[in-house]
């Protein structure tokens, strides 16, 4: 799984390329890059949420947390 921060960095680079493409009047390419960046940012959020859910289940000790019944 990709590191969320790495994904965000790639998304930012895609947005920079989209801006450049738009300035050079490559509107379709700019739109595509913007859509891809949006998907990358969503993937980064999903990865972060997954890490957070795992941390809650495992806890600080590194062992699964048992719930009382």
Task: Measure the CA–CA gap between 55 and 69, rounded to whole angstroms.
Answer: 21
Residues 6+ apart with CB under 8 A from 7: 40, 41, 43, 44, 47
Could you tell me which residues come within 8 angstroms of residue 64 by beta carbon, excluding any fewer than 6 positions away?
57, 58
Domain boundaries, the chain: 4-57
Q: Is 2 left (phi over 0), alpha (psi -120 to 50) or beta?
A: beta
pLDDT-based confidence at residue 5 (cuts at 50, 70, 90):
very high
Confidence of residue 37 (pLDDT cuts 50, 70, 90): very high
Short-list 41, 31, 33, CA closest to 17: 33
Predicted TM-score (pTM) of the model is: 0.72
- pLDDT band, residue 13 (cuts 50/70/90): very high
Could you report the per-residue pLDDT of 19-36, keeping only the tens digit for each? Answer: 999 999 999 999 999 999
């Amino acid at each position: 799984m990709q590191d969320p921060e790495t994904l965000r960095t790639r998304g930012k680079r895609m947005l920079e390329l989209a801006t450049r493409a738009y300035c050079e009047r490559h509107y379709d390419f700019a739109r595509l890059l913007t859509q891809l960046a949006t998907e990358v940012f969503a993937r980064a959020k999903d990865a972060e949420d997954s890490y957070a859910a795992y941390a809650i289940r495992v806890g600080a000790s590194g062992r699964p947390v048992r719930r009382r019944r």
